[in-house]
Amino acid sequence: MLKFAYGHKSHSSDVRVPSYGDLTETFPPRTVMVAMDGSEDSRFAFHWYVQNIHRPGDRVVIVFAVEFHSEHDSRWLFSFTESVEEKVGGSLDKERARHLETVKKFSKLLENSKILGEVNAIVFKSPGEGIVQAANEIHASFIVTGTRGLGKVRRTILGSVSDYILRHAPMPVVVCRYVEKKGCEK
């Protein structure tokens, strides 16, 4: 698993947020998972979270579900010919480099937003399954994800990651559909 972190660990168990007058509200720290795939919709979901529900003290974990798009499928991984082995190895190295670049971009997104957090790249057969499992492992308070807005037929055939997360995650899920409006960048 690839991990990049940004920010400083908080030593207090509560975050105090100034309220009206002399009152102070105390919020327990939250771990927020933001599922991202590099699309504009997932970046919108991250910015929506930052602008609408982020609280000081939130620990943000961006999860990037890695999908390898190699021109060679897994049956070639067990081939005994050197030429196929070299092709597959080179192709997988290119995929790894591409994913590492994506993880670095997400880390920079946290840094630019001045948000305490980390980026985890996970490899799973189904991205939705991997995201739900990762959310359970980090004890996420809730999950934020975008939606690509697949049409009804494509969603029926391919399935939807956000739909899978909604149906299987044991914690609240916020699905952000990009809607162009002032004050919320994409």
pLDDT of 182 > 60? The answer is no
- Going by C-beta distance under 8 Å and a sequence separation of 6 or more, which residues neighbour residue 158? 150
Tens-place pLDDT, residues 126-166: 889 999 999 999 999 999 999 875 555 555 544 588 889 99
| Among the ranges given (4-13, 100-109, 167-176), the one the predictor scored with the smallest mean pLDDT | 4-13
pLDDT of 1 above 90 = no
Residue-level pLDDT at 184: 52
100, 64, 43, 103: CA torsion to nearest 10: -20
Res 180 pLDDT > 90 = no
Residue carrying structure tokens 């609240």 = 172
Name the band, by pLDDT with cuts 50, 70 and 90, for residue 32. Answer: very high
* pLDDT the model gives residue 30: 94
Which residue, among 43, 51, 61, has the nearest Cα to 143 in the 3D structure?
A: 61
Q: Residue with structure tokens 């997104």?
A: 109
The pTM of this model reads 0.71
Coil, strand or helix: which one is 67?
coil
Helices (H), 114-158: 127-137, 152-158
Residue 149: predicted pLDDT? 56
Look at residue 94 in the predicted model and tell me its pLDDT: 80
